[in-house]
Chains A and B, each alone.
Chain A
Amino acid sequence: MPQGIQLGDAKAAEIKAVSIGKTFGAFRALKDLSLDIGRGEFLTLLGPSGSGKTTFLMILAGFTAPSEGRLMMDGKDITDVPAEDRSYGMVFQGYALFPHLNVEQNIAFPLKVRGRSSADIKRRVGEMIERVGLVGHEKKLPTKLSGGQQQRVALARALAFEPSVLLLDEPFSALDKNLREMMQEEVKRLHQETGTTFVFVTHDQSEALALSSRVAIFNHGELLQVGRPQDVYERPANRFVAEFLGEINLLPLGALRLDGDKAAGQFEDRTIVLSQTGPQIGPNAVAAVRPEHMTIAATQQNPDHNAIACRIEDATYLGAVTKYHLKTRTGTSIAVSMPTAATTGFAHRSDVWVSWPTEQGFLLPQQG
């Protein structure tokens, strides 16, 4: 980044949160949170309700001051810079459009604030309206727009002044599934086109995995793990992350032996082998395997794969995939999802083998 660039006018900024803490009275909403947000990256803050995502986003935006810690942007300390001088783009939950201004005027607002010439504003507003597909709706008031259209106005307004950072707080939570997927595509495209740093809040794990270059997982005001979607999904740091990101089978292992990058343990009468690249684990561990990584077969197939004997309890047809509920001999529940095309209609209550490649499972501590 060249020297002397004004705060908030860089194309994409790099943000560094250093030991951020936030307390409301006696309640600690954020605890010692350190996070680097890279230039032009799409970072998603993911976590259950009340985990502190919005609080952190408000601190990034400058609407809330942190109780502890510092915030750096492109190497400068911006902890005490007020929101109006940071000037990040922001899309609020519920859109927060100006109800008294039409689509055009909403998008023009940040440009007017910046004192751009009216010709410049007109050109830029036209450009943004086209980019988010709102041509023909320029003169409508927000109340006359559908949820998806309002969302587009909010995006266009937030991106109109080319902010160096765009913050989005659960922008799609009010949209139905189809619209949501469409808007996700659109946001992804806008990110690629603008090259701006995006920080996106959601409590929907599939949204987080689908959109981001990295995901930061929050719980109880703590940052549990940051990583690429594949990393956090396939190599979660702990059980909370593993379970929050999607359904997962947990098999308690006995007689655990660690051997370089492999681990082996006993489940019922079977030896389970796992590649072990995760965190250091004590003697009591569980093997964690995603339902879609397992397959069901009538006989034991590849001898190099892990396999356990199960009985089919229930099958749910979900279109492209079918989801099976099974029980092992000792009664541990197992879930397997398989492409419907690959299933041969296993009979109810039939005894089958559930197997998965050794590199697909990972170890997690028994507790926590």
Chain B
Amino acid sequence: MTGKSAVPRTILLLAPLLLFLGLAYVVPFLGVIRWSVTLPEPGLGQYRAVLTDPLVQSVFIRTLRICLIVTAAALVMAYAIAYVWVRGTPTQRMLAEFCILVPFWISVLTRAFGWLALLSNRGLINTWLQAAGIISEPLALARNEFGVIVGMTHFLIPFAVFPIASAMRSIDERVLLAARGMGASRSRIFWSVFVPLTYGGLIGAALIVFVFALGFFVTPAILGGGRSVMVAELVYLRIFQSPDWGLGAAISVVLVIFIGILLALMRRFIKPAHLVG
């Protein structure tokens, strides 16, 4: 193949995907944009509402808070798993790989209900703790923000593991040996050589987790029990459970713009190849 025909060929290969995305996402979303500026009457009134309505505000703030906590928690745990996966003994590596891949085979719904079974008032943890006499009243582990954070973190850890592990794998072993040869202790090598060399992977992982977390719907809906509503659930409630389509549409548009900005940032900071490991 010559260089000339390479571009049309790429487009041809991508065409089915582009067509699908166009029909399934872009066209309907144009409709959503139209609702946001026409319902119930033409104008930017709904956007004003997004910026002023205390309920919408509180949901946005809660979403940001949950996403930040989930991102931080997922990064810390993913870092530990990635470390074992990349630098552990063969058995440890296998175990880590198992822990990373198995969640992928289980649907998000199943996992959310799984956590509910563990965390709810009559769930396993509370019943055990009560049976053991450690607590008398059940702890509020689910149907609140805590439950949402646990469920989302669990779901998102594998997505953070890949970019981090990829960064760890590309570290030159000799650089670590060099640090050792200069008399550096293990913890010094880890904190002042190993970790800084994985910053790229950490930033990538943080952006992926954060962007995914922003649009979460199923997990907060189940584990939040309606008391910890996040943006995606708010859009759902506005559109399906109230006649307030315009506001729901405006919230969606704001969310999409916000995610677009984050994705643009992500492209600046990391190469796509690093995201898949």
Docked complex Cα distance between A63 and B196 (Å): 23
CB of B13 within 8 Å of the partner chain: no
Docked complex Cα distance between A62 and B188 (Å): 19
Query: Judging by beta carbons under 8 Å apart, are B184 and A113 in contact?
Result: yes
CB B187 to nearest CB in A, in angstroms, measures 12
Contacts of A84 in B (CB 8 A): 180-185
What DSSP secondary structure best describes chain A's contact surface? Answer: loop
Query: Judging by beta carbons under 8 Å apart, are B185 and A96 in contact?
Result: no
The chain A residue with its CB closest to the CB of B196 is: A100
Query: Judging by beta carbons under 8 Å apart, are A109 and B179 in contact?
Result: yes
Q: From the candidates A8, A62, A96, A161, name the one contacting B178 in the complex (CB within 8 A).
A: A96
Contacts of B172 in A (CB 8 A): 94, 96
The chain B residue with its CB closest to the CB of A169 is: B174
Docked complex Cα distance between A113 and B175 (Å): 15
Q: From the candidates A62, A99, A100, A110, name the one contacting B182 in the complex (CB within 8 A).
A: A110
Docked complex Cα distance between A110 and B178 (Å): 10
Docked complex Cα distance between A87 and B179 (Å): 10
Docked complex Cα distance between A61 and B174 (Å): 13
Query: Judging by beta carbons under 8 Å apart, are A90 and B196 in contact?
Result: no
What DSSP secondary structure best describes chain B's contact surface? Answer: helix
Interface size class of A (residues with CB under 8 A): 20 to 34
The answer to whether residues A114 and B193 also contact, given A63-B177, A92-B178, A96-B177 and a CB cut-off of 8 A, is no
Q: From the candidates B174, B178, B183, B197, name the one contacting A85 in the complex (CB within 8 A).
A: B183
The answer to whether residues A92 and B177 also contact, given A99-B197, A100-B197 and a CB cut-off of 8 A, is yes
Interface centre among B172, B178, B181, B196 (most CB of A within 10 A): B181
CB of A83 within 8 Å of the partner chain: yes
The chain B residue with its CB closest to the CB of A99 is: B197
Query: Judging by beta carbons under 8 Å apart, are B174 and A92 in contact?
Result: yes
Query: Judging by beta carbons under 8 Å apart, are A98 and B175 in contact?
Result: yes
Query: Judging by beta carbons under 8 Å apart, are B175 and A97 in contact?
Result: yes
Contacts of B193 in A (CB 8 A): 98, 100
Query: Judging by beta carbons under 8 Å apart, are A113 and B174 in contact?
Result: no
Docked complex Cα distance between A84 and B174 (Å): 14
Docked complex Cα distance between A90 and B181 (Å): 7
Query: Judging by beta carbons under 8 Å apart, are A114 and B181 in contact?
Result: no
CB of A198 within 8 Å of the partner chain: no
Contacts of B185 in A (CB 8 A): 84, 113
The chain A residue with its CB closest to the CB of B186 is: A84
The chain B residue with its CB closest to the CB of A154 is: B178
CB of A56 within 8 Å of the partner chain: no
CB B172 to nearest CB in A, in angstroms, measures 6
The chain B residue with its CB closest to the CB of A100 is: B196
The chain B residue with its CB closest to the CB of A167 is: B181
CB B249 to nearest CB in A, in angstroms, measures 45
CB A168 to nearest CB in B, in angstroms, measures 12
CB of A88 within 8 Å of the partner chain: yes
Contacts of A85 in B (CB 8 A): 183
CB B194 to nearest CB in A, in angstroms, measures 10
Chain A residues 103-126 with CB under 8 Å of chain B are: 109-110, 113-114
CB B202 to nearest CB in A, in angstroms, measures 13
Q: From the candidates B178, B184, B188, name the one contacting A90 in the complex (CB within 8 A).
A: B178
Docked complex Cα distance between A96 and B178 (Å): 7
Query: Judging by beta carbons under 8 Å apart, are A83 and B174 in contact?
Result: no
Query: Judging by beta carbons under 8 Å apart, are B183 and A87 in contact?
Result: yes
Q: From the candidates B175, B183, B197, name the one contacting A96 in the complex (CB within 8 A).
A: B175
Contacts of B192 in A (CB 8 A): 109
Contacts of B181 in A (CB 8 A): 61-63, 83-84, 87-90
Query: Judging by beta carbons under 8 Å apart, are B177 and A161 in contact?
Result: no
Docked complex Cα distance between A85 and B183 (Å): 6
18 interchain pairs, CB-CB under 8 A? A8-B183, A63-B181, A83-B180, A84-B183, A84-B185, A90-B177, A90-B178, A96-B178, A98-B193, A99-B197, A109-B179, A109-B184, A110-B183, A113-B185, A113-B188, A114-B183, A157-B182, A161-B182
| Extra 10 A-B pairs, beta carbons < 8 Å, given A84-B181, A87-B181, A88-B181 | A61-B181, A62-B181, A83-B177, A83-B181, A84-B184, A89-B181, A97-B175, A109-B182, A110-B184, A157-B182
B residues adjacent to A (C-beta < 8 A)? 172, 174-175, 177-185, 188, 192-193, 196-197, 199
The 3 closest A-B pairs by CB, nearest first: A110-B182, A96-B174, A96-B178
